[in-house]
Structure 1
Amino acid sequence: MKQVNTTLIKKMERFAEVTINSLKLGKMVRAKRCLELANDVFQKGNSEVKNAISNVYLYSVSHYLELNHFAMKQLLPIELHKEYVKQINTSGV
């Protein structure tokens, strides 16, 4: 069985919290910067990092964005938006 990197998971959880708090406070420049950074790391990271961003960070942030009626296509960078669409299509929603 593969070992789960709990440190990476915790960092992605914290990064998602920072992004969501920026959105809550209306700090859109900071939120966009967080999303761009996540997108950059998603593109350049190994499979473990990509999975953590997709399954922890993007899942949490997109959930908040959906609940608060943010325009996903405008906020999410291209690669994260593609991953979000993949998640939606996989879930059957």
Structure 2
Amino acid sequence: KPKQTKANNMDTDYKISRKLYKEARKALDTIKNNPQQIALREIRIHLLDEDGDGLGIWMEYDEESGELKRGMLPLHHSMFYSEEDAESDLESLDETPPVLLN
């Protein structure tokens, strides 16, 4: 088995990130082009690493001002899951299949 170097890891991480960005764009385009469009008022996107840490991006329509507001914030895995939640999620995977967008 070839030894992974830092450069190889960075290249692999870059390729995985590019693929995820491409798939996210496809999913958003699919939703946008759906004839039964959802009346959205807010979009939140979580960009997370393998540890569940990352960046949250949000955009929302302000009904009062008629303007779009947007922002970013750092995310930490503990904001979303406790160990009990993770165990419960793993158990429920057997019961509920995920919705696939492709």
Q: TM-score, normalised by structure 2?
A: 0.31
Q: Greater share of strand residues, 1 or 2?
A: 2
Q: Which protein is bigger by CA-based radius of gyration?
A: 2
Structure with bigger RCO (C-alpha 8 Å, 6+ apart): 1
Q: TM-score, normalised by structure 1?
A: 0.34
